[in-house]
Structure 1
Amino acid sequence: MNLKTRLNIALGACAVSAVLLAGLYMRGQLRERALAEVQREAELHMEAATALRSYTADHVRPLLNTDPTHFQVAAVPSFAATTAMHELHRRYPGVSYREVALNPTNPANQATGIHAEMVEALRSSGVDTIQRQTFENGQEMLYVAKPLRVNDAACLTCHGEPAAAPTAMRALYSDQHGFGWRMGETVGAQVVSLPMTVPLERAQQSLWQFLIGACAVVLTVFLTLNAMLRRVLLNPIASHHGELHRQAREDELTRAINRRGFLEAAEAALARARANGEQLSLAMLDVDRFKQINDQHGHAAGDAVLRELVRRVQSRVRGSDLLGRLGGDEFALLLPDASLDHARQLCAALHATLQREPYPHGETVGISLGVAQWQGGSEALSCLLARADQALYDAKRSGRGRCVG
């Protein structure tokens, strides 16, 4: 995996992590906002009910309770608030207001289930408000409850001792329930329940809009950073790396592949030939009496001879052939997919080209070549090199300036 791919993966992972973390944070914020919205709405309903209770107690009850022999239900604050809020909530589906008690006068107001649990929580904690979130019929509901405490002695007229209660009330509700209340006691609760479906759906829509926008921004930043890093960092690094790789494999003097690079490439070519059942040949060549050139004309002339030698070889061989400098004036020419006969013909023509024209120091140069063909099977590169080197030795021993193989 190259540096560019690794950097892209790292940037992509950072981008995805950033979007996920931002999404989780925004999800929490939007849910809190939705909950706060429902709480404000519940508070409004609660305040409306409380206002109705106060109005009934202060203005309606004195007008209706003029006949002690007749019990006016409309004069009861809880009845007035519950009835009015029920009418209001016809326009707010799912919203409800109830006043419940553990020992109510009207059995219809008996606290059960979550209502009873909230009343008990208010009685034990002494707080002014509690809330609960539940799932009912596939939707999330918010319950908000405030305590109903006996803070007015007038309440005990109807809820103290049964004998003190109005006869008409006992006749309507009996004297079995709603009595025995005490001053300061929390006897029940005002409970508003609201569905959270709509605010949560709005929060979900806002979350998706945020995520889409965040993804667009992150993608833009990612592509911009990617382009900038590629231009400022990756391309220079790749260029520098390529130059270092070239320098590590290239002979500085002649620009042919150096010994290490040649041996690595030859091993790879040998593996392909073995896998594909192909032929492969190799030629060894060097300059005859190269030391005399250096001694007579100087090392600069010798270097020029080697550079010209490489130029002439590379101008005549195939694109798949590979020339490497093994050291000094010794070179190796790898000939993939070439039989021994083909290699001999190529090297004979090459030999004539290398010796025909003068070199930079003004004289022709003798070149000796040794050719060998890979025998296939498990023969190693070292064996092939040794046989080609032996053929080169035979060329020199038989008079130099010739091709043997």
Structure 2
Amino acid sequence: MKYIIVLGDGMAGRALGELGMRTTLEAAGTPVMDALSKVSETGMASMVPEGMAPGSDTANLSVLGYDPRLYYSGRSPLEALSIGVDLKDTDVSFRCNLVTLSEEEGAYEDRVILDHSADEISSRDGAALLKALEEGLGKEALDRAGYAFYPGTSYRHLLVQNHGTVTELTPPHDVLTRRIGPYLPTDPSLRRMMEKSYEILSHHPLNEERRKQGLHPANSVWFWGAGTRPCLPSFEERTGKKGIMISAVDLLKGIAAGAGLACARVEGANGGLHTNYEGKARAAVQALTKDGYDFAYIHVEAPDEMGHQGSIRDKIQSIEWIDSRLLRPLITGLKDAGEDFRLLLLPDHPTPIEVRTHTGEPVPYLLYDSTREEQGESVYCEKTAAGTGREWKEGYRLIGHLLQEELC
């Protein structure tokens, strides 16, 4: 038996008047998901423990079976694992977004966050701007203060401080379109670096070229997600399953590194709407049917990004492409290879269009077993899943149901 999780990041949402009081998941054309729903178990699962922030970090730990209340030490340290940063026990890691701020206002604190991802800037351009920032701030000055920058993927980068302090910082996607003053760090060093970043990056040649192309300039950094080095027990030791992570984003790769999961490299997988859906399906089929893996975690960031952007059309498109370009070839490939499998499909958290950020409501799940189809629901969406009355209030236990065993 093979085991698969297909995770549509932020795929769930809330009913929208523009869609006739349907969610984007409900409005999307998803014939594969709906066919599975008719012969699967469906229900709801709470992936964000009560009292914890509804982030992809806490939620994806839950989906993998790690209780965030025990294992979560901050988002950025998980991403540090992904890009090979060996955090010391005295280090504090911060996520460093390249963001787009409005440019009409005079004072930095009066500006507004227009885009938390600077139009999903490329990793190459992001790294170039991070290097310019480091040079502008002064490498020697950063070293003396114990700071170091590390390039990541797209707009997602890292700042590490030796002998730092974990402080409460606001994610940029939580304050889109708002004046940033009330949400700036109280730490004077972090705030100064953010203010200086606007001066350094705003008229960088890369950003001038982006403006000419009609793209948002990456004109500031934004620090958040502070934390210390995590310690996750091995997934294989806990479950007896050899697993692989298939994702384009550093957070998921970092969780994989911490849990001892392998990571597949998929050409063209970029964490955006136009990612390589088919390539992810092929990588999973290859891993499960030829490379000796028992478990595959396929993560797609696109619905979450489109939710943050507030685009109904693109969020629906991302869900439809998960259905047609990932799920369909994945299931066909496994069945053609004669593999028996259990597949869990779900979001990690909702990213509703109207708030453009994460929320902590339960999410709909679908659990399909190729060896014993059962009577299910007509379609896969929040409404039908909630109507079953099934709910996993401790969502981190759901993976045990998938694997047909109780995990400690």
| TM-score, normalization by structure 2 | 0.17
The structure that has the greater radius of gyration is 1
| TM-score, normalization by structure 1 | 0.17
Between structures 1 and 2, the one with greater helix share: 1
